[in-house]
Structure 1
């Protein structure tokens, strides 16, 4: 089978030929149909992600496909079941083996491309806004990087949860994407005074930040008393340092969110979140935004779209 692998952190990933893997005890084999790309993949390529596997490894955190074979002791999901899996890696290949317990059947009306784009982006935003920040109807939600993979879902979910959504992104085209997802107010991060514009709207109750750097600093200073700040990632490459005395003065709360971490210590949080999200999808309340779908042979070009920030929403690789 073909797989897009990192063989060295000093060389670009490449397509290689590998044997089709057999599922072990407790595992299933998935015939992969689609794999969504994530910013964390770019860090894995460099060897700087917090959960980078040892080389060589196949890229691709979240996949959708059909169960193809069952390992010993596995009773389900049955062969032929359409599933999505967050495997952490291994998705940019024609087949993958995963723990059966981590496979989630996908709705019949969900495309493989939408399913692959679903767990990390929607899961991160929903757990962050609902479970962590307890976002309330009528609150001001400031979303940085609002046209990106996770940011766009935060806009969509925030609006669905009744918040007043302030979307911040670079350029009018990206802001129009955020507007179509439900944003009430738009801020162009290219040249705007983010702090001043947010304060003019009454300040932020919740800040959703996958960007970091100067944008975090501006958002921090635009917070209302008792605001909650959610560092989701650091796409800017700059990890901000938080002045504790300012937290004290405004009674602010900073709460980190690593969605994948709940897999290890509190998986029920993810299970409950996915149940809610699939319900909303089935009701037509969620519309995954996939800006590009490329074949496995063009995986390198797909990552270029992600790293150059030429995409909006999610980039997905169609495998079969």
Structure 2
């Protein structure tokens, strides 16, 4: 079978496509015939050894897959050959066939397309865990989403609306803000690109607060970091919850005095670890997401698809922040 491999640390240009041996299912495993692979920001980091996990090389990137079970190993219950499923291996997904522990596999609705299924788990799973379990977002609260046109940001916009919040979408261009408004955001604003001095950060804090209405947002979903953190924190209402999701703009230095003055909680969001620690909670959240999908409240926005032999271009496009929504690699049946 064909596999996209990282043989040395580096950018997308270092990836190669080679033939490797087909997997066989071990005890407690299934083999999935992969039909689609969701590309996520960790894929841009893991191939450069900048992610918190560093797999032994050669390895394949690709953290979430959708496909059909081809073979079932010993002691697997409730899963059968031919089942349509999704799985989140963390890495290893950019292959034609993949062996994964059965405990990491979830059946998908019969009418869910594979590309949408592959674009659902990590972004919507992360954002739903963040908003529901970590921030405990309530109806009619005000949610400010930074990076609202990216994968997790776009998911946060849709889920915020599905949960009854008033959503403000913030992004770096008018096109990206319009994309988030089309997803259902109630308001939007463009923030400056690049570094900001203190005066610019203070001005942006005022814009965040004005766009959110009343006394500022109750919840900030920060998938950007960098110089955008402090302005969003300054804009928050009393007893606000600040969700730390990602740092494509850099890891910020947080002025803790601001959290004291407004009684703001700063909350880390590590979805992958949460899934491992609470499988039952993850399963319940996935059931909610499938219901939201069936009800038409969420729909993965796939901006670009690539074949397997162009997977490096998919990862490059995401790393360059040149796409809105999700990027998916598809594998022909």
TM-score w.r.t. length of structure 1: 0.97
After superposition, the C-alpha distances for 1:128-182 in whole angstroms (9 at most, x for unaligned) are 0011101111111000000000000100110111111110011111111100111
Q: Distance in 2 between the 1:35 and 1:187 partners?
A: 32
Residue in 2 that maps onto 1:194: 204
Contact 2:72–2:81 under 8 Å retained in 1: yes
How far off is 1:189 after superposition?
A: 1.5
How far off is 1:244 after superposition?
A: 2.3
Q: Distance in 1 between the 2:235 and 2:30 partners?
A: 48
Against the structure 1 CA distance between its residues 159 and 10, is the aligned structure 2 distance closer, same or farther, given a 3 Å change threshold? closer
How far off is 1:116 after superposition?
A: 0.2
Residue in 2 that maps onto 1:207: 220
Residue in 1 that maps onto 2:197: none
Match 1:245 to one of 250, 257, 262: 257
Residue in 1 that maps onto 2:142: 140
Q: Distance in 2 between the 1:54 and 1:142 partners?
A: 39
Q: Distance in 2 between the 1:225 and 1:196 partners?
A: 16
Residue in 2 that maps onto 1:124: 126
TM-score w.r.t. length of structure 2: 0.93
2:231 is the alignment partner of 1:218: yes
Contact 2:233–2:258 under 8 Å retained in 1: no
Residue in 1 that maps onto 2:2: 2
TM alignment of 1:253-292, pairs within 5 A: 253-292=265-304
Match 1:300 to one of 299, 302, 312: 312
After superposition, the C-alpha distances for 1:250-306 in whole angstroms (9 at most, x for unaligned) are 111001001100122122221111011111111222111110011001111111211
Q: Distance in 1 between the 2:320 and 2:37 partners?
A: 19
Q: Distance in 1 between the 2:172 and 2:72 partners?
A: 46
Contact 2:28–2:75 under 8 Å retained in 1: yes
Q: Secondary structure at the match of 1:176?
A: helix
* Structure 1 consecutive aligned stretches of length 4 or more whose deviation exceeds 6 Å: none
Contact 1:76–1:100 under 8 Å retained in 2: no
Q: Secondary structure at the match of 1:46?
A: coil
Q: Distance in 1 between the 2:175 and 2:155 partners?
A: 17
Q: Secondary structure at the match of 2:239?
A: strand
How far off is 1:60 after superposition?
A: 0.4
Q: Distance in 1 between the 2:78 and 2:164 partners?
A: 38
How far off is 1:10 after superposition?
A: 4.1
Instruction: Identify which range, 278-287 or 186-195, moves more after superposition.
Output: 186-195
